[in-house]
Amino acid sequence: MTETADIETEIRRLRVRIIGLTTVQLAEAGENSPVADSGERLSRRATIAEALAEFSAIGSEGRPVPELNDESLPDQVVVLLSHGMRTASELTEPDREEMLAALLDAAVRLRRALA
């Protein structure tokens, strides 16, 4: 299953990217950060928090994601994406493919937003 392998690759990329960000960089908006309702770009920390909520909505029945310290962010990305893949593996093939595609899309968007 190619999407599973692609998600695993994104997990590794995201983990390395997030671990490499300093506290100052997490507080800053990146060039590709999404824009908030206020018209300002979100900080990388807020971008990650939004992505965690999206990962949870896709693969964890929308369970609330607690506010995390900076050191926990990469681990939480790994946990939520991995949990989503496990959840998808229990679904019928069309639903599994849909969930995996949504997780992959969200992971790629996060990685690009953090660039």
**31-64 pLDDT per residue, tens:** 899 998 898 999 999 999 999 999 999 999 888 8
Q: Give dist(CA 57, CA 79) in Å, integer.
A: 14
Q: What's residue 68's pLDDT?
A: 77
pLDDT beyond 70 at 28: yes
Q: Region 91-98: what's the mean pLDDT?
A: 94
Q: Are 36 and 42 contacting, i.e. CB atoms less than 8 angstroms apart?
A: yes
pTM: predicted TM-score of the whole model, two decimal places: 0.91
User: For all residues of the chain together, what is the average pLDDT?
Assistant: 93
| Rounded percentage of the chain residues whose pLDDT exceeds 90 | 79
Residue with the two structure tokens 């969200």: 106
What is the three-class DSSP state of 32? Answer: coil
Q: Give dist(CA 115, CA 110) in Å, integer.
A: 9
